Chain A
């Protein structure tokens, strides 16, 4: 590297990497393995983690069902109002998550536009798994839609045309050509969505403080007992998330990339 600018860039970039990595490594370093094992014995912590994972799983599943078709339309079609829809999709990423929580509460709460009639049928959203799932889905779905859209955009529409000229219907062409070729993007998008859902705190506490999710439990422990009690649980959650995230990412690389023919 003879160019000076690259050296400066490396130094600045190094600061960025340390800034992200140091706090995470420090959690493990100060808690230690004993601390994590201790946290694993806390039944409430385990329950909270299960709640988080379960709700995040359903949030991802629902995002897949509603997000992937939308992503396809956005990737393939031009229509009036398209950029408006794209902006709407990105909104959850930019608004403060407590604000998102309040907004969700106002519509899904007992007196809300959707919450009130649902309650008539005995479906409770506030302080329920459903509420947590909705809050997670709201803040994480943009990731899935955007990843899936990029995946679809990378597949030449002419591949679908050719499939149709060979006798495939549009549906068959999508399922046999476009979907297999963009599955990796959809998978990575799902992973990001799931990870984002797990990490959500602000929107979740507003609409459903109970059942406690892992972030809510860690926060309540912090408020009651301080760092000493909350840090080991935090380290435990961090550990699980990192293991799952890394193993799924490795699994996804087994899918071939076709965007460079």
Chain B
């Protein structure tokens, strides 16, 4: 559907270098990265608002690199909505339809349909200045969808909304995506949005794509230290790996971990806090790590309890309240941390 080949672009303070991506038809693709990574610039290049310095962009096999935005059949929604302030909601939505030369009756019909889908029936005659953030977001979406785009490009569409509205609009965007069979490229710095919406995720930092994969791959098996830290992996250890048969031994400051992964020259190992079990007894197994340590801090996070255990290095462990009570965990208690070799992620 969309193919981005070797795109390089410098613009103001942002730069993209050698970007390669492919997005399938009907896919919900999220580009995740910190502020200043070049996410918006990438989206604007796909839209045709700027042209790349190098590289090519294809939509449905057709080279659109230098095609004006009006001919790309895309819909675009900015974080701050960019509603036309001198037009009411209705005229904002009608804008694209008028540009297409549709008859007023057809425009009316399409607007009514969109107003239904996007839940903005009651505000069609209002001006953007008088709308709330959530309303503006819905209008911006309706306006983009009005022209029946093949691709919907979303630039941080949820980040200006409060938590409640965010959850609501997120659900609505997902529903729209499924109902209309849209191909969506959504850029965001929110892990939560990425995890909840994406079919696939690309991690972008400092103008470079670091990893592309399904959410569980990105979150469980980050390919490098930046990705690991950015997606919130807590137990990251630096050290050296040594492969022996089917098992990789990873040594980090007196710590010895076993991993089923085979990554050449791995420099880091990571274990997700929820993949670790706490036990009061030592369990010996070839496929398992079992490390002795002392409980250092306990933080109640509501449904889960965060326990930090010092095993020479600090491990963060998330356990349920039930097992927390059962094990009678308290600060200073000696425990064993148990986690599978397949959950020890190695990366460079």
Interface residues of chain A, those whose CB is within 8 Å of chain B, are 156, 158-159, 161-170, 172, 176-177, 180-181, 256, 258, 261
Contact = CB atoms under 8 A, between A and B. Distances in A.
User: Which are the 5 A-B pairs with shortest beta-carbon distances?
Assistant: A166-B96, A167-B99, A164-B69, A258-B85, A161-B49
Contacts of A161: 44, 47, 49, 69, 76, 82
A165 B85 contact: no
Contacts of A261: 85, 128-129
9 contacts: A161-B76, A162-B84, A163-B95, A165-B75, A166-B70, A176-B95, A181-B85, A258-B85, A261-B85
B42 to A, nearest CB: 14
B86 A167 contact: no
A177 to B, nearest CB: 6
B68 A169 contact: yes
Given A164-B69, A165-B69, A165-B70, A158 B78 contact: yes
A161 B40 CA distance: 13
B198 interface: no
A181 B82 CA distance: 13
Contacts, number: 66
Nearest to A169: B70
Contacts of A172: 99
A160 to B, nearest CB: 9
Given A159-B82, A258-B85, 17 more contacts: A159-B84, A161-B69, A161-B76, A164-B49, A165-B47, A165-B69, A165-B75, A166-B95, A166-B143, A166-B146, A167-B96, A170-B68, A177-B84, A180-B86, A258-B86, A261-B85, A261-B129
Contacts of A162: 76, 78, 82, 84, 143
Contacts of B144: 165-166
Interface string B33-62: 000000000001001110000000000000
Interface residues of B, number: 26
The residue in A170, A181, A261 that gathers the most chain B C-beta atoms within 10 A of its C-beta is A261
Nearest to A163: B95
The residue in B84, B128, B143 that gathers the most chain A C-beta atoms within 10 A of its C-beta is B84
Contacts of B317: none
B115 interface: no
Contacts of A167: 70, 96, 99-100, 147
The residue in B48, B68, B75, B82 that gathers the most chain A C-beta atoms within 10 A of its C-beta is B82
Interface string B72-111: 1011101000101110000000011001100000000000
Contacts of A165: 47-49, 69-70, 72, 74-76, 144
Contacts of A256: 86
Interface of B: 44, 47-49, 68-70, 72, 74-76, 78, 82, 84-86, 95-96, 99-100, 128-129, 143-144, 146-147
Nearest to A156: B82
Nearest to B12: A78
A176 B92 CA distance: 11
Contacts of A156: 82
B82 A168 contact: no
A164 B72 CA distance: 10
Contacts of B74: 165
A166 B94 CA distance: 10
A258 to B, nearest CB: 4
Nearest to B40: A158
A22 B129 CA distance: 42
Nearest to A159: B82
B85 A168 contact: no
A168 B44 CA distance: 16
Contacts of B85: 181, 258, 261
A170 B71 CA distance: 12
Contacts of B47: 161, 165
B126 to A, nearest CB: 14
A70 to B, nearest CB: 23
A159 to B, nearest CB: 5
Contacts of B84: 159, 162-163, 177
A133 to B, nearest CB: 33
Nearest to A167: B99
A203 B141 CA distance: 56
A78 to B, nearest CB: 9
A165 B99 CA distance: 11
Nearest to A176: B95
B70 A164 contact: yes
Nearest to A170: B68
Contacts of B68: 164, 169-170
B103 to A, nearest CB: 15
Contacts of B75: 165
B147 A166 contact: yes
Contacts of B128: 261
Contacts of A258: 85-86
Contacts of B100: 167
B167 to A, nearest CB: 25
